[in-house]
Chain A
Amino acid sequence: MNYLIVGASSGLGRDLAYALSKKTHNLILISRDIRDLVAIKSDLENRFKTKISTYSVDLASKTSVIAFLDNREIEFSLLDGILFPIGMMSDNDFITGLNSKAEQIVNANFLSIVKFTEKIIPIFKKKNNGLIVGFGSIASSLGRRKNILYSASKRALNSYFESLTASFENSHINIQFYILGYLDTNLAFDEKLSLPKASTKQLALEVVKNMKKNNIKKYYPIWWGLISYFISLIPFVVIKKIFKFIK
Chain B
Amino acid sequence: MFKKKITSLDKSTTVDIFIKRPDKYREIENFSLEADNLITMGGCNSYSAASFKKNNLSLLFTKFDRVLEFDKFNKSITVEVGVKLSELLNFTLKHGLWLPQIPGYPSITLGGAIAANAHGKSSDTHGTIKNQIKSILIFHKTHGWMKLSNNENKDIFELTIGGFGLTGTIVSVELKLIEIAGYDFTTTVEKVFSAKDAVKKLCSRDLDNIFSYSWNKTFNKKKFGEGLIFNNKINENKENLTINEMYFKTDNLNKHFFLNLWNKYSIKFFQNVYYNYFSVYKKKIANDNFKNVLFPYSGKETYFHMYGKKGFIESQILVTLNKIDIFIDELEHLINIHEPEIVLFSIKKMIGKELFLRFENTGMCFTFDFSSKNKNLDFLDKLDALCVKHKLKPSIIKDSRLSSSTVQKCYKDFENFKKTLLNFDSKKIYRSELSDRIGI
Q: Does A223 contact B (CB under 8 A)?
A: no
Q: Knowing A10-B63, A36-B24, say if A192 contacts B91 (CB, 8 Å).
A: no
Q: Does B21 contact A (CB under 8 A)?
A: yes
Cα–Cα, bound, A186→B59 (Å): 12
Within A169-210, which residues are at the interface with B (CB < 8 Å)? 186, 189-192
Q: Does A47 contact B (CB under 8 A)?
A: yes
Cβ contacts A1-30/B at 8 Å (1 or 0 each):
000000001110010000000000000000
Shortest Cβ distance from B25 into A: residue:
A35
A residues in contact with B26, CB < 8 Å = 33, 35
Contact B67–A43 (Cβ < 8 Å):
yes
Contact B67–A47 (Cβ < 8 Å):
yes
Residues of B within 8 A of A (CB): 1-2, 19-27, 63, 66-70, 80, 91
Q: Knowing A10-B63, A191-B2, A192-B2, say if A42 contacts B25 (CB, 8 Å).
A: no
A residues in contact with B67, CB < 8 Å = 42-43, 46-47
A residues in contact with B68, CB < 8 Å = 38-39, 42-43
A87 to chain B, nearest CB (A): 13
CB-based closest 4 A-B pairs: A43-B66, A35-B25, A10-B23, A46-B67
Contact B66–A39 (Cβ < 8 Å):
yes
**Extra pairs beyond A42-B69, A46-B70, A189-B20 (12, CB < 8 Å):** A11-B23, A33-B24, A36-B24, A36-B25, A39-B80, A47-B91, A186-B22, A186-B23, A186-B27, A190-B1, A190-B2, A192-B2
Contact B91–A190 (Cβ < 8 Å):
no
Cα–Cα, bound, A201→B1 (Å): 24
B256 to chain A, nearest CB (A): 24
Contact B19–A190 (Cβ < 8 Å):
yes
Contact B20–A33 (Cβ < 8 Å):
no
Cα–Cα, bound, A39→B65 (Å): 9
Shortest Cβ distance from B83 into A: residue:
A43
Cα–Cα, bound, A46→B80 (Å): 14
Shortest Cβ distance from A14 into B: residue:
B23
B residues in contact with A9, CB < 8 Å = 23-24
Contact B1–A40 (Cβ < 8 Å):
no
Shortest Cβ distance from B172 into A: residue:
A39
Within A64-110, which residues are at the interface with B (CB < 8 Å)? none
User: Which residue among B2, B24, B67, B69 has the maximum number of chain A CB atoms within 10 Å of its CB?
Assistant: B24
Pairs across A and B, CB under 8 Å, 28 listed: A9-B23, A9-B24, A10-B63, A11-B23, A14-B23, A33-B24, A35-B25, A39-B25, A39-B66, A39-B80, A40-B66, A42-B66, A42-B68, A42-B69, A43-B66, A43-B68, A46-B91, A47-B91, A186-B21, A186-B23, A186-B24, A186-B27, A189-B20, A189-B21, A190-B2, A190-B19, A190-B20, A191-B2
Cα–Cα, bound, A15→B2 (Å): 26
Cα–Cα, bound, A192→B19 (Å): 12
Shortest Cβ distance from B64 into A: residue:
A39
User: Which residue among A33, A40, A46 has the maximum number of chain B CB atoms within 10 Å of its CB?
Assistant: A46
A43 to chain B, nearest CB (A): 4
Within A133-157, which residues are at the interface with B (CB < 8 Å)? none
B residues in contact with A192, CB < 8 Å = 2
A residues in contact with B2, CB < 8 Å = 190-192
B residues in contact with A36, CB < 8 Å = 24-25
Shortest Cβ distance from A38 into B: residue:
B68
B residues in contact with A14, CB < 8 Å = 23
B residues in contact with A186, CB < 8 Å = 21-24, 27
Cα–Cα, bound, A207→B26 (Å): 28
Shortest Cβ distance from B79 into A: residue:
A43
A residues in contact with B70, CB < 8 Å = 46
User: Which residue among B19, B63, B69 has the maximum number of chain A CB atoms within 10 Å of its CB?
Assistant: B63
A91 to chain B, nearest CB (A): 11
B residues in contact with A40, CB < 8 Å = 66
Cα–Cα, bound, A38→B25 (Å): 11
User: Which residue among A11, A38, A42 has the maximum number of chain B CB atoms within 10 Å of its CB?
Assistant: A42
A41 to chain B, nearest CB (A): 9
Shortest Cβ distance from A184 into B: residue:
B21
